[in-house]
Amino acid sequence: MTKAERTKQFIIEKVAPIFNKKGAYGTSLNDITEATGLTKGAIYGNFQDKDTLALACFEHNLKFFQKGLYKSLVSTGNAWIKLEKLFGFYEDGFQQVYLNGGCALMNSTVEADDGYPLLRERVKKTFEIWRSELEGVILEGQESGEFKAEAHASDMANLIIAGIEGAILIAKGTQDMTGFNSLLNHLKTIVEKELK
């Protein structure tokens, strides 16, 4: 890794948690220079603009989610076990998500809705990939006879995504972590009834 690459990585690691908590709009250049100890020139010498830095920070924050999604959905076992592992990932990792300012995908979705076109496109693509991965697991379960053939895979994938993101939103909005697991368990029960 070159010195320039190390500097970029350093900036991302220091600023990504701030972007996740304050958002791209709420994060000031002063926040960025204070967190990194670098000058404005050094920041913009490594990133074209705030949009580019916001996108790099989003990618960094998203790695936690991507690792958990990948581990659960490519695990061995039947389709329901894969979905259970996805729910388990969120149960096990929720405290880390909560303390880091919430779900980077949700936070970026809200912020990128009215601005930051680079970030908006990346968020959209991330949701599409997540939905596609979940659809694949549901279709796998249908092909094996494990899940009802009449269940609509895309709708079920959207329900799972909306339920997980909604549970995170309620926990963050009420500043109460305790309700997250009960909401997640309720979602799991609904999904199981719909699919099996």
Give residue-wise pLDDT tens across range 111-170. 877 677 878 888 899 999 999 999 999 999 999 999 999 999 999 999 999 999 999 999
Q: What is the DSSP string of 139-158?
A: HHHHHTTSS-TTS-HHHHHH
Contact 61, 16 (CB under 8 A): yes
pLDDT at 36 over 90: yes
Mean pLDDT of 20-35: 91
DSSP E strands in 27-132: the ranges are none
Q: What is the pTM of this model?
A: 0.86
Q: In terms of Cα–Cα distance, which of 159, 167, 145 is closest to 190?
A: 159
pLDDT at 46 over 90: yes
pLDDT at 4 over 80: yes
Give residue-wise pLDDT tens across range 114-125. 677 878 888 899
- Domains in the chain: ranges and CATH: 59-195 (1.10.357.10)
pLDDT at 15 over 80: yes
Q: What is the mean pLDDT of the chain?
A: 90
Which ranges of 144-152 would DSSP assign to H, the alpha helix? Answer: none
Residue 26: C-alpha distances to residues 71, 103, 143 (Å): 33, 17, 47
